[in-house]
Amino acid sequence: MSEATRVWMAGVRKRTVPALILALVAIGFPFVVSSGILQWTTFPMSGLFTAVNLALTACVGAAAFNLLVGYAGQLSMAHAAMLMVGTMAAGWMSSRWGLNFFAIVPLVGVTGAIIGAIVALPALRLRGMYLLLATLAFHYIMATIYRWFLPTFFGFVGIVFPPPEIKWGGIAIVLDSDQSWYWVLLVFAVLSLWIMARYVGTFEGRALAAIDARDKGAALLGVNVARSKLIVFTVSSAFVAMSGAVSGYFLGARVEDSFPVSVVLDYAVMIVVGGFSSLTGGVIGAFFFYVTPLVIEWLMRTLPGLSSIALLKHHINEIDLGLFGFLIVIILVRRPDGLAGLLRAGRVS
């Protein structure tokens, strides 16, 4: 075997083996949960299942956020606003037009894209911190609209999303449990990430890196900076809106107060901890965000030394919160390129 072949095979192994393992875990996970094999660990497996589903909807939003902030360097706080747009659009299409969930999601994507493009227009002229603040202002404007929209069109109950149905031949599957949702969310996440990855790989995508580095330099390179910014806002907003619609359906309803500005900070935590400017980072960050609190609490409950300390039990919530903040700071300080950077480092060596 030649040296080149050996290197190539090593490369394949490095890329496909982890991917295969991931696929196996993804496919096997629901069976592990329902079989109850891991019950002896007293880890809340059903809770974990729900957390994983939430992470799957969030990772699309986190990856889209990363696309905008990490790849293209457009510091945006309009994330929660786009989730609201997705929620409102989905609610409208579901209750007024009676559309099916599977038709609504792509339509919400289109709506998100349009609104994203509109928001991007004034944003094209701003940079860095000023863009950040303008998008923060946009959040509060959208929050006001959301608070008007809900009671005006949905009365006092809020937007209630009916469980989606798949009718196929003679079979009707209703998405009303973690088990049934898992597959739909998995497909949604994989498909969305694949599309975003393709986008990043195109010329447009590589132009983003140039814009991030130096607006003016990019212009000199022949990149139409304004157009590229517009496109990345559009693409990102489309996926964020879709993830908002999907999570609305998954949770079942959306009422007032569902989107405080802290939601943006949550996603910011996800992408920075997971890893900036890498779609994988968004995924890792989303899972970190939803699964870690369960793990921390389980450890405190089961580790023999810890579980007997009464003080810990009494203050478990604030310890949870403090640990979370501490983890964020530590990861950022020691590994500014996040957990995904750890992975990359592992792969390189």
In 213-305, beta strands by DSSP E:
253-254
Of the candidates 253, 49, 50, which has an alpha carbon nearest to the alpha carbon of residue 163?
253
What are the b/e assignments for 268-299, b being 16+ CB within 10 Å?
bbbbbbbbbbbbbbbbbbbbbbbbbebebbbe
| Distance of alpha carbon 61 from alpha carbon 271, whole angstroms | 10
| Distance of alpha carbon 72 from alpha carbon 25, whole angstroms | 32
Which residue, 44 or 165, is less far from other proteins as judged by CB? 44
Could you tell me the two tokens for 233? 């806002």
82 binds other proteins (CB under 8 A): no
Could you tell me the two tokens for 183? 């597959």
Which residue, 4 or 333, is less far from other proteins as judged by CB? 333
Which residue, 158 or 183, is less far from other proteins as judged by CB? 158
E strand or H helix at 263, and its extent? helix 262-274
Which residue, 35 or 144, is less far from other proteins as judged by CB? 144
* Residue 287, helix vs strand vs coil: helix
Could you tell me the two tokens for 268? 């910011």
E strand or H helix at 159, and its extent? strand 159-160
Question: Which range touches other proteins (CB under 8 A), out of 83-91, 151-159, 165-173, 197-205?
Answer: 151-159
Q: Which of 236, 247, 278, 280 binds other proteins (CB under 8 A)?
A: 247
Question: Which range touches other proteins (CB under 8 A), out of 82-90, 199-207, 231-239, 331-339?
Answer: 331-339
Output the smallest distance, CB 321 to other proteins, in A: 4
Which residue, 133 or 195, is less far from other proteins as judged by CB? 133
* Residue 147, helix vs strand vs coil: helix
| Distance of alpha carbon 296 from alpha carbon 285, whole angstroms | 16
Question: Which range touches other proteins (CB under 8 A), out of 13-21, 111-119, 137-145, 199-207?
Answer: 137-145
Determine whether 329 is exposed, middle or buried from the number of CB atoms within 10 Å of its CB (0-12, 13-18, 19+). Answer: exposed
The site string for other proteins over 281-300 (x = CB under 8 A, - otherwise) reads ---------x--xx------
Determine whether 16 is exposed, middle or buried from the number of CB atoms within 10 Å of its CB (0-12, 13-18, 19+). Answer: exposed
Could you tell me the two tokens for 19? 């991917």
Neighbour count for residue 100 (Cβ, 10 Å)? 14
Count of residues of this chain found to bind other proteins when the rule CB under 8 A is applied: 78
Which residue, 183 or 324, is less far from other proteins as judged by CB? 324
276 binds other proteins (CB under 8 A): yes
126 binds other proteins (CB under 8 A): yes
Decide if 274 contacts 339 (C-beta within 8 A). Answer: yes
Which residue, 132 or 300, is less far from other proteins as judged by CB? 132
Decide if 159 contacts 254 (C-beta within 8 A). Answer: yes
185 binds other proteins (CB under 8 A): no
54 binds other proteins (CB under 8 A): yes
Output the smallest distance, CB 14 to other proteins, in A: 27
45 binds other proteins (CB under 8 A): yes
Q: Which of 56, 63, 67, 69 binds other proteins (CB under 8 A)?
A: 69
Q: Which of 8, 97, 194, 326 binds other proteins (CB under 8 A)?
A: 326
Which residue, 51 or 193, is less far from other proteins as judged by CB? 51
Which residue, 239 or 289, is less far from other proteins as judged by CB? 289
Residue type, 36: G
121 binds other proteins (CB under 8 A): no
253 binds other proteins (CB under 8 A): yes
Output the smallest distance, CB 233 to other proteins, in A: 14
340 binds other proteins (CB under 8 A): no
